[in-house]
């Protein structure tokens, strides 16, 4: 089985990252064309989201709320600018799962740009 690749941009099938996320299967690659995207992304499937033309070409900047809320087991972001402008919420909110950032810039207006939660196993193997 080949990896699902979804392109996002003004002239592509998916005009928003959210539309591509809704259509993405586990393991999909979402390739985002240059521009600024005013979206709040809720990640519910393990995907990779990358800037199609490299670092500094894609900015995700919603009007309010977190840029990203992770609800899947894992997500990978590559070469994106994630800019949160909400003074009450982090730019990236990882309540569960794992988030990896390669060449990304995360900017927030709240007390934390990235907030990670969840339970961490203790070194002895019992819940901590």
Domains and CATH numbers, the chain: 5-116 (2.160.20.10)
In Å, what is the CA distance from 9 to each residue of 12, 65, 76, 118?
5, 22, 19, 34
In Å, what is the CA distance from 24 to each residue of 11, 45, 76?
19, 7, 14
d(CA 2, CA 103): 25
pTM: 0.89
31 in Cβ contact with 9 (< 8 Å): no
Residue at token pair 């840029």 = 67
d(CA 79, CA 71): 21
Q: Digits of tens for pLDDT over the chain (128 positions)?
A: 689 999 999 999 999 999 999 999 999 999 999 999 999 999 999 999 999 999 999 999 999 999 999 999 999 999 999 999 999 999 999 988 999 999 999 999 999 999 998 655 545 554 44
């Amino acid at each position: 089985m080949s990896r699902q690749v979804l392109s996002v941009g003004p002239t592509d099938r998916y005009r928003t990252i959210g539309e591509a996320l809704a259509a993405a299967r586990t393991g999909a690659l979402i390739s985002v064309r240059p521009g600024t995207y005013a979206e709040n992304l809720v990640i519910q499937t393990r995907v990779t989201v990358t800037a199609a033309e490299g670092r500094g070409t894609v900015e995700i900047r919603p009007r309010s709320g977190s840029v990203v809320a992770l609800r899947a087991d894992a997500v990978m972001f590559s070469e994106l600018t994630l800019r949160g402008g909400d003074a009450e919420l982090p730019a990236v909110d990882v309540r569960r799962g794992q988030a990896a950032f390669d060449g990304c810039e995360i900017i927030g207006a709240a007390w934390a740009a990235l907030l990670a939660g969840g339970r961490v196993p203790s070194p002895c193997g019992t819940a901590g």
